[in-house]
Amino acid sequence: MGEILALVEARLLTALGEPDARAAVTFLGTDRIEVLRFVDGDVVRYATLGMSAQPMADPTAVLADPVKGPRAELVLSVRAGLADTDKVLRPLAVLAASPQVEGVVVAPGASLDVGEPLWPGAPFSSVLVAEPGGLVEDLELDAPMDPVMFLPLLPMTPNEAAWKRVRGAQELQERWLSHGTDLRDPLRGSVPLD
Residue 152: in which H helix or E strand, if any?
A: strand 148-156
pTM: 0.94
Taking 90 as the threshold, does the pLDDT of residue 67 lie above it?
no
CA-wise closest residue to 73 among 27, 33, 30: 33
∠ CA 21-26-28 to the nearest 5 degrees?
170
Residue 93 CB-density burial (10 A; 0-12 exposed, 13-18 middle, 19+ buried)? buried
Q: Looking at 26-180, list the stretches that DSSP marks H as alpha helix, in order from N- to C-terminal side.
A: 89-102, 158-167, 169-178
**What is the percent of the chain where pLDDT is above 90?**
79
Q: Of 63-67, 70-74, 123-127, 131-135, give the lowest mean pLDDT range.
A: 63-67
Taking 80 as the threshold, does the pLDDT of residue 42 lie above it?
yes
∠ CA 162-168-171 to the nearest 5 degrees?
105
